[in-house]
């Protein structure tokens, strides 16, 4: 199934930063060994409101268009292998409306695993 990232949320990737998620192999709480992680990802800071709007797309792989055409992303939200990169506090920005009313916008930092998309050619 080729699931495309919805166009209405493509703005999320305008300021995305390509990063590598790295962690050394270690031991889990139960004593078993964990593998080292080295994965390409996109780091994105967006408003809590926008994050809640894209939540339904979590843990599913979506193909991208535009700047990241040929790539696919998976939003990390609760996968235990990537717990260090689960959504994190991105700060609060206080602003003032034209009428003088003060309001705050809460931000979160999220990560999307980034993969190349390979097309299968028919024989």
**56 and 65 Cβ atoms separated by less than 8 Å:** no
pLDDT (tens place) for every residue of the chain, 123 residues total: 689 999 999 999 999 999 999 877 666 667 676 677 789 999 999 999 999 999 999 989 999 998 899 999 999 988 777 888 888 899 999 999 999 999 999 999 999 999 998 765 555
3-state secondary structure of 85: helix
Question: What backbone torsions phi and psi does residue 114 show, to the nearest 5 degrees?
Answer: -120, 125
Of 44, 33, 53, nearest to 90 by C-alpha is 44
What gap in Å lies between CA 41 and CA 20, rounded to an integer?
Answer: 6
> What is residue 25's predicted lDDT score, i.e. its pLDDT?
67
Beta bridge partners of 4: 63
- pLDDT reported for residue 23: 78
Distance CA 22, CA 45 (A): 19
pTM for this predicted structure: 0.80
Determine the pLDDT at residue 80. Answer: 78
């Amino acid at each position: 199934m080729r699931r495309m990232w919805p166009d209405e949320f493509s703005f999320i990737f305008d300021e995305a930063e390509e990063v590598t998620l790295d962690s050394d192999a270690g031991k889990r709480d139960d004593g078993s060994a964990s593998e080292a992680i080295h994965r390409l990802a996109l780091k994105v800071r967006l408003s809590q409101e926008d994050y809640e709007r894209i939540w339904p797309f979590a843990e599913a792989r979506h193909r991208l268009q535009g700047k990241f055409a040929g790539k696919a992303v998976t939003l990390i939200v609760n996968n235990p292998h990537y717990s260090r990169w689960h959504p994190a506090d991105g700060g609060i920005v206080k602003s003032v409306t034209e009428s003088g009313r003060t309001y705050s916008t809460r931000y979160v930092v999220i990560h999307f695993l980034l993969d190349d998309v390979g097309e299968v050619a028919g024989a």
